[in-house]
Amino acid sequence: MTTLKQGDQAPSFSGVDQDGKAHKLEDYKGKKLVVFFYPKASTPGCTAEACDLRDNFARFEASNYALLGVSADSAIRQSKFKEKYELPFPLLADEDRFVIEAFGVWGPKKFMGKEYDGIHRTTFVIDENGVIEEVIEKVKTKEHANQILK
């Protein structure tokens, strides 16, 4: 789905999290950044993915990673999701899909025989200089941390 690949410069994005705080790529210079896109907060797959990342958060911190979740949900929905599952990382409320489209993860999907446009569950691992190290398109929601931290 996405046209971004390993070795590409990550898009210079800017978005607002569940608390209204702005986040942009430049804020993470000098750290590795995991930007994970998920279809909808509080759905089973998205919850499993976020909780797996939460449960392994200390491993990410120990390896100098920052995490940033992104979906098209409202700030209120993101806030409830973060609070309910005690997620230790920010969740961008990208209702206008600026970040989602910059990373190329919006497009046609199929579910139960119906076609519609939506977010493709995709994760980007970005190095300290803003270069994409890895694109994970086949996300295993219950073991996503291991996919990233190998």
The domain segmentation of the chain, as residue ranges, is: 33-149
Domain 33-149 part of CATH 3.40.50.300: no
- The whole-number average pLDDT for the span 109-121 is 89
Q: For this structure, is 51 an active site residue?
A: no
Q: Which of 10, 16, 46, 135 is catalytic?
A: 46
The C-alpha R_g of the chain, in whole angstroms, comes to 14
Which pLDDT band, with edges at 50, 70 and 90, does 110 fall under? confident
The confidence score (pLDDT) of residue 101 equals 95
Query: What is the number of alpha carbons within 13 Å of residue 39 lying toward its C-beta?
Result: 17
Report the pLDDT value the prediction gives residue 111, as an integer from 0 to 100: 78
Assess whether pLDDT exceeds 70 at residue 2.
no
> Over the stretch 49-79, which tens digit does the pLDDT of each residue have?
999 999 999 999 999 999 999 999 999 999 9
